[in-house]
């Protein structure tokens, strides 16, 4: 047997053990965290597909992230904040982090937030966002962080669904040197809400002047002063009590609140920091995601801190002040593992390759990329340019941590570019037939599905809607109650996995997961629009971009090019105002009809094919072939 095969076998054995001896495996892993009271059962899956991990155990995410490491690392950096947007830096030791989190927790308690209450954060990448998240965890409040790039309609939907007692926000953020005012969007969202929260706390950065609403809006700095020095006791939660809700898009226009537990999540993250991310306590970890996404929750905030590491929080882009900024930060803070996105690397690829060599990267062992497909040339460019391993990892908001990845903490395995390697321990992943639900042999494309129980750290349900959780995720594979990832996949003869795009209408723009249905609903709210179809089209830089095809209420499509351009601009602005700039379509075109089947279903795959200049394939079900021709013409 070759050396290479032996290595792959070790990972396979590890994975096999995690499934075959599930409870022993996770019992052992649970020792990584502190339990105030031990659990009585590792797993309760008596009500499939629900799974409760570490039944009866009591723990707390904030305690494991902050307090637990005080004796060892009180004076060592826990949180490093760098903003190239406002040219500021702050370093917090564990002790200082402890003080800030306690002040924030006291502030929330002072506003009447109790265990189980929700707190919504709409914040830029500032340390106060991390303090507030940890403060929620400390007192057992459930946080719901909304990505700062989202706008009022998205925000209002999330406020209404989670019904937070308090919203914590900021005057504004900054992106590529441009101030983004948050407060007006928040005010607009609160105006749209059925039951707005009692209190709004604003962290005023002095970026975007705003009007405070008397009796509702409070000042973060003032509250911090008021509560400084307080110590807030830990709320020891039963393992399955929720830690947070994070909304994500699917097929419908209504985002789903992915609910995460407490104990299972802490264990899963702690284990992944070693097995997947090859780290140990005292390391420094730098993840360039945003706290508004799952990657930010797991690998900016909780994962590194729970594992006793230093985490780097970065507000800025990968190319300002220049394309070496990420490497400069790696050098300065002696970063051991870097986690970023394929889009960020494709952006860097357009810069001078010499920038990769300008800094001392000797501390860095591996670069991790996730969130969207990693194309082979991009992976190769980075890996060759840095002379470091690049690991592609595949997962979802729902899973909370990687489903497929190389696992250098188990064993270094050879990379196969274009593949996120192998299933991680705990995930019983299969490629199954869309029509029969049966496992497919190597080489065949099918749906990537997971046999329940989902491992610790994966979503426990949809916030407030158990039935929707089951219906959404566990009913689409014929004949089997499997979890569907809604991704296509394939395994090669050597056991390397490949992800081949979504089976549903979710698109991925620069690593941002968006629902086309949500964008369609936004466009349809324009008075002149009769109907529309939004699709994700391949893009060299962003992976995908959204393109919108619109049928207007007036019979003829817009013939006058100026009028068409003006209307296109109106629609783009509307989406930007309602959902945020990330959701803004790259292109809007007007057509007389949408290509549909005789039963009225829009032929999205055919539209995408035409947009990508591919053969649209079988069109026998199309009602009006000229509709597809119109799409083709509209693109010329
Ligand atoms: O389609 C897959 C794609 O992103 C989706 C999940 O997005 P989100 O919920 O935002 O979570 C991102 C967590 C990293 C998946 O269903 N995706 C994510 N990672 C990869 C990927 N597609 C291909 N390769 C990946 N490594």
Which domains are assigned to the chain? Answer: 428-502 (2.30.38.10), 505-635 (3.30.300.30)
Band the pLDDT of 7: cuts 50, 70, 90. low
Torsional sign, CA 512, 86, 296, 180: negative
Give per-residue pLDDT as tens, 363-392. 999 999 999 999 999 999 999 999 999 999
Residues with CB under 6 A from ligand 1: 248, 293-295, 370-374, 392-397, 420, 485, 487, 499, 502, 508, 513
Q: What is the mean pLDDT of residues 475-492?
A: 98
Residue 273 above 60 pLDDT? yes
| Residue 299 CA to ligand 1 centre (angstroms) | 15
Nearest-angstrom CA–CA distance, 123 and 138 = 19
Nearest-angstrom CA–CA distance, 559 and 536 = 26
Cβ 443 vs Cβ 384: under 8 Å: no
Closest to 445 (Cα-Cα) out of 457, 435, 455, 460: 435
Q: Whose CA is nearest to atom 6 of ligand 1?
A: 396
Residue 584 above 60 pLDDT? yes
pTM recorded for the entire structure: 0.96
Q: What is the mean pLDDT of residues 231-257?
A: 94
Give per-residue pLDDT as tens, 299-342. 999 999 999 999 999 999 999 999 999 999 999 999 999 999 99
Q: What angle do helix axes 127-139 and 94-110 make, rounded to 10 degrees?
A: 60
Of 420, 499, 500, which is best to mutate to test ligand 1, by the most ligand atoms within 8 angstroms of its C-beta? 499
pLDDT at 559: 81
Of 394, 403, 515, 583, which is best to mutate to test ligand 1, by the most ligand atoms within 8 angstroms of its C-beta? 394
Average pLDDT, the chain: 96
| Residue 442 CA to ligand 1 centre (angstroms) | 22
Q: Whose CA is nearest to atom 16 of ligand 1?
A: 396
Cβ 125 vs Cβ 315: under 8 Å: yes
Give per-residue pLDDT as tens, 511-534. 999 999 999 999 999 999 999 999
Q: Whose CA is nearest to atom 24 of ligand 1?
A: 373
| Residue 247 CA to ligand 1 centre (angstroms) | 15
Residue 3 above 60 pLDDT? no
Cβ 463 vs Cβ 254: under 8 Å: no
Exposure of 171 in the CB half-sphere (CA atoms within 13 A): 14
* CB burial string 626-635: b at 16+ within 10 A, e below: ebbebbeebe
Band the pLDDT of 8: cuts 50, 70, 90. low
| Residue 458 CA to ligand 1 centre (angstroms) | 14
Q: What is the mean pLDDT of residues 136-148?
A: 98
Residue 5 above 70 pLDDT? no
Residue 6 above 70 pLDDT? no
Q: Which ligand 1 atom is at minimum distance from the Cα of 393?
A: 26
- Tell how strand 390-393 and strand 284-287 pair up: unpaired
Band the pLDDT of 1: cuts 50, 70, 90. very low
Query: At a CB cut-off of 8 Å and minimum separation 6, what does 211 contact?
Result: none
pLDDT at 554: 86
Decide: residue 196, CB within 10 A, 0-12 exposed, 13-18 middle, 19+ buried.
middle
pLDDT at 387: 96
């Amino acid at each position: 047997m070759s050396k290479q095969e032996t290595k792959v076998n070790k990972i396979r054995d590890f994975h096999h053990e995690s499934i075959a001896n599930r409870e022993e495996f996770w019992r052992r892993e649970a020792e990584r965290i502190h339990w105030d009271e031990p659990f009585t059962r590792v797993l309760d899956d008596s009500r499939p597909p629900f799974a409760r991990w570490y039944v009866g155990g009591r723990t707390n995410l904030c305690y494991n992230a902050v307090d637990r490491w005080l004796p060892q690392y009180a004076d060592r950096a826990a949180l490093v904040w760098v903003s190239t947007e406002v040219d500021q830096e702050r370093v917090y030791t564990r002790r200082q982090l402890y003080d800030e989190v306690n002040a924030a927790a006291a502030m929330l308690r002072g506003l009447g937030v109790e265990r189980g209450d929700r707190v919504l954060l709409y914040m830029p990448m500032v340390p106060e966002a991390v303090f507030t998240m940890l403060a929620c965890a400390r007192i057992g409040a459930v946080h719901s962080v909304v990505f700062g790039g989202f706008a009022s309609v998205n925000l209002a939907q999330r406020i209404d669904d989670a019904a937070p007692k308090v919203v914590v926000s900021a005057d504004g953020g900054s992106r590529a040197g441009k101030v983004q005012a948050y407060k007006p969007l928040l005010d607009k969202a609160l105006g749209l809400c059925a039951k707005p929260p009692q209190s709004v706390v604003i962290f005023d950065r002095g970026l975007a002047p705003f009007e405070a609403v008397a009796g509702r809006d409070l000042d973060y700095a003032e509250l911090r002063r008021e509560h400084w020095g307080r110590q807030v006791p830990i709320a020891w939660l039963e393992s399955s009590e929720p830690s947070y809700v994070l909304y994500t898009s699917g097929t419908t226009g209504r985002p789903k609140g992915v609910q995460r537990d407490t104990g299972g999540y802490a264990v899963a993250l702690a284990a992944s920091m070693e097995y997947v991310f090859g780290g140990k306590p005292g390391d420094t970890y730098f993840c360039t995601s945003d706290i508004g996404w799952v990657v930010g929750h797991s690998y900016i905030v909780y994962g590194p801190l729970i594992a006793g590491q230093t985490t780097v929080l970065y507000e800025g882009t990968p190319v300002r002040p220049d394309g070496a900024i990420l490497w400069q930060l790696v050098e300065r803070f002696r970063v051991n593992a870097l986690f970023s996105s394929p889009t960020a690397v494709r952006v860097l690829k357009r810069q001078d390759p010499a920038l990769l060599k300008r800094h001392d990267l000797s501390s860095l062992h591996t670069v991790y990329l996730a969130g969207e497909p990693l194309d082979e040339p991009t992976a190769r460019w980075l890996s060759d340019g840095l002379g470091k391993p690049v690991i592609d990892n595949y997962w979802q908001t729902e899973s909370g941590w990687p489903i497929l990845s190389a696992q250098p903490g188990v064993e270094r395995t050879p990379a196969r570019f274009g593949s996120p390697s192998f299933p991680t321990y705990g995930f019983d992943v299969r490629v199954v037939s869309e029509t029969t639900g049966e496992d497919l042999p190597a080489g065949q494309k099918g749906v990537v599905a997971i046999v329940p129980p989902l491992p610790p750290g994966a979503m426990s349900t949809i916030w407030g809607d158990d039935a929707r959780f089951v219906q959404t995720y566990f009913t689409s594979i014929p004949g089997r109650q499997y979890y569907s990832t809604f991704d296509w996949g394939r395994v090669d003869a050597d056991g390397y996995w490949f992800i081949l795009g979504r089976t549903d209408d979710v698109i991925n723009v620069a690593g941002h997961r968006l629902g086309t249905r949500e964008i369609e609903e936004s466009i349809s709210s324009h008075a002149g629009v009769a109907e529309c179809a939004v699709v994700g089209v391949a893009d060299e830089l962003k992976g995908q971009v959204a393109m919108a095809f619109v049928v207007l209420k007036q019979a003829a499509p817009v013939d006058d090019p100026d009028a068409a351009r003006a209307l296109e601009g109106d629609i783009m602005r509307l989406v930007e105002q309602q959902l945020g700039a990330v959701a803004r379509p790259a292109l809007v075109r007007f057509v007389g009809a949408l290509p549909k089947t005789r039963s009225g279903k829009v032929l999205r795959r055919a539209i995408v094919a035409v947009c990508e200049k591919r053969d649209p394939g079988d069109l026998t079900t199309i009602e009006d072939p000229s509709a597809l021709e119109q799409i083709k013409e509209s693109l010329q």
